[in-house]
C-alpha cells in the first residue's frame, strides 16, 4: 500500500471502496458533475474510473447516480472525519495520520485531509 500526495492532502493507495457496474451505467455523466475529485472520466465505451486513489468516499457519485451503477461505502474514512469535524460532531476516523499512519479523528488535528 503506497501513499498518494494531492496538494496538501495525502491518500492511501488502493483502499477506496468505489465500484462501478458498467452494465448498469447509462453514461449520463452525473458522477462527473458531482465528484469533487475528478475520479471519473468518459471514454468512447462509456464511463470509467480514472483515478480510484483520488476517491475520498464522500458518496456524492453513488447518491446521485440515477442508474445505481456506482457503489461506495460513504461515511467511512477521511471524508466522514472531515465532514463530522466541520459540523462539530464526533465520528469517522482517518487512517492516514501524519507520519504515524495511526487512526486519528479530524478534531485531533491528525487528519490528512
Cell of 111: 487528519
pLDDT, mean of residues 66-88: 75
Contact 69, 29 (CB under 8 A): no
Q: Which residues contact 101 (CB under 8 A, 6 or more apart)?
A: 95
User: Which pLDDT score, from 0 to 100, does residue 102 have?
Assistant: 43
pLDDT tens digits, one per residue of 86-112: 777 765 555 544 434 444 444 444 444
Q: Judging by beta carbons within 10 Å of its beta carbon (0-12, 13-18, 19+), is residue 47 exposed, middle or buried?
A: buried
What is the set of domains in the chain, with CATH numbers?
Answer: 1-74 (3.30.70.20), 75-113 (no CATH)
Supply the pTM of this predicted model: 0.61
CA-to-CA distance for 62 and 33, rounded, in angstroms? 12
| CA distances to 21, 68, 86, 112 from 81, in Å | 27, 25, 9, 10
What is the chain's mean pLDDT, rounded? Answer: 74
> What are the beta bridge partners of residue 41?
48
Higher pLDDT, 52 or 66: 66
CA-to-CA distance for 112 and 4, rounded, in angstroms? 11
> What are the beta bridge partners of residue 42?
47
Amino acid at each position: 500500500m503506497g501513499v498518494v500526495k494531492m496538494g496538501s492532502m495525502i491518500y492511501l493507495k488502493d483502499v477506496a471502496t468505489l465500484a462501478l457496474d458498467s452494465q448498469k451505467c447509462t453514461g449520463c455523466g452525473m458522477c462527473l458533475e458531482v465528484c469533487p475529485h475528478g475520479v471519473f472520466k468518459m471514454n468512447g465505451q462509456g464511463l470509467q474510473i480514472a483515478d480510484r486513489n483520488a476517491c475520498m468516499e464522500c458518496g456524492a457519485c453513488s447518491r446521485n447516480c440515477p442508474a445505481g451503477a456506482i457503489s461506495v461505502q460513504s461515511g467511512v474514512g477521511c471524508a466522514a472525519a472531515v465532514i463530522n469535524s466541520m459540523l462539530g460532531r464526533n465520528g469517522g476516523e482517518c487512517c492516514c495520520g501524519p507520519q504515524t499512519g495511526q487512526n486519528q479523528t479530524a478534531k485531533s488535528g491528525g487528519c490528512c485531509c
